[in-house]
Amino acid sequence: MRRAVISGWGRCVPPTVLSNADLEGMMDTSDEWITVRSGIKERRISHVEPSEMAAVAGSHALAAAGLGIEDIDLIILASCTSDSVVPATAAHVHRLLEAPVATAAFDLNANCSGFVYSLITASKMIESGMYSRVLVVAAERLSALIDFTDRSTAVLFGDAAGAVVLEPTEEEYGLLSGCMQMDSSALTYLEVTEDGLHRMPERHMEDAYGGIAMNGREVFRRAVVAMGDLSVRAVTAAGLDLDDVDLLIPHQANIRIIDATARRLKLPAHKVYTNIHAYGNTSAATIPVALTEALEQGYISPGSHVVFAAFGGGLTAAAAMMRWGERTEPLERSDAVLAPTERSLMELLDANFQVYGFPEKLK
Ligand code: UT7
């Protein structure tokens, strides 16, 4: 049977760090509260658009697969923080990677579940024989949507990009199962209310911008149930038992959600990859960034059974079960990096302060 296997992987994390101590200097919060409630210590703030981070992550993934962009049939760009709506951010990534006209490209917005949705979509296109090589990139600049006057959301989000190359195999490797869902009855629990085309005239008239708004408790409750349910379903649909899972790579939104998902799968801590302390919640990018780090740190061996599980705005959720292929080392390496920035952290955040208001301690 033809399956899709991950043959390349890469990430791009912007250099500027926003630490819990920095946030303590801006608002009534504490390192202890943020650490205990979310597991986050610091996050990155991007000085470039999502497409630029995507192109760097994509270049690393292509090199790891030993491929050039001309070998890629399709680019799927998972993001909810697009450079532009027209053209799709995938067009910017396509241009930056100098992809040929024959390489198709589109955006997929499933919020924080975007990478797993894209992984499943790409794999099914490969299984069907429609395409052979697909580059899936998740790139997010959530910092642009952070309202630093709202401490309940301002401490959670960051920027990053991660990418994988998928190729066909006739071996017993690759994507074994995938599940996706959408609970739109709860769509108002996580939204950017002033975003989207229908709001545009109001933007111009009232100049009223709103950042990320979230009912944290409700989203938390649903995330725990959905990530657990879908992970178990993905394992079962693959014809495997919970004992067969070697590694869970969950969406990194909250360490307590991750711990609850791990408990549901009966997994010990060493079978769960977390890096939320370093990057916070980077929406669709969390899983591919975590995957690249897990590979570098030896968490994955040939044939490892890896579960990916995500949850996000919509409210979407998705899980996929992957049997890793024969290779855990990159074939080649890329020297792609972001253009450097001279701008300080506070200079980067100033645009947020101007748009959404100054945090209380900086007024
Ligand atoms: O990526 C996609 C989906 N997103 C998620 O999955 C996120 C899901 N939700 C969460 O991760 C958690 O709900 C949060 C981390 C957002 C919040 O944790 P919580 O344990 O649910 O806290 P809470 O919202 O119930 O707030 C508890 C208290 C409140 O004070 P009172 O009302 O008890 O006096 C908040 O005002 O903590 C207060 N609080 C803060 N205190 C210090 C809220 N934000 C902060 C803060 N620093 N940054």
pLDDT at 168 over 50: yes
Per-domain residue ranges of the chain:
3-333
Nearest-angstrom CA–CA distance, 162 and 13 = 9
For the segment 77-117, what is each residue's pLDDT rounded down to a tens digit? 999 998 988 999 999 999 999 999 999 999 999 999 999 99
- As given in the structure block, the two tokens for residue 124 are 């099914």
Among 33, 37, 187, name the best residue to mutate to test ligand 1's pocket (greatest count of ligand atoms within 8 A of Cβ): 37
Q: Where are the alpha helices (DSSP H) in 66-208?
A: 89-96, 114-127, 151-154, 200-206
pLDDT band at 205 (very low <50, low <70, confident <90, very high): very low
| Annotated active-site residue in 112, 179, 254, 275 | 112
Beta-sheet pairing, 104-108 with 74-78: parallel
Ligand 1, atom 5: nearest CA belongs to which residue?
A: 253
Question: From the CB of 304, is ligand 1 less than 6 Å away?
Answer: no
Is residue 281 annotated as part of the catalytic site, yes or no?
yes
Question: From the CB of 253, is ligand 1 less than 6 Å away?
Answer: yes
Q: Which of 29-33, 81-85, 248-252 has the lowest mean pLDDT?
A: 81-85
37 CA from centroid of ligand 1 (Å)? 7
Closest CA to 75 of 50, 87, 58, 53: 58
CATH of 3-333, one of 3.40.30.10, 3.40.47.10, 3.40.50.720, 3.40.250.10: 3.40.47.10
Is residue 251 annotated as part of the catalytic site, yes or no?
yes
Question: From the CB of 109, is ligand 1 less than 6 Å away?
Answer: no
- Report if pTM > 0.95: yes
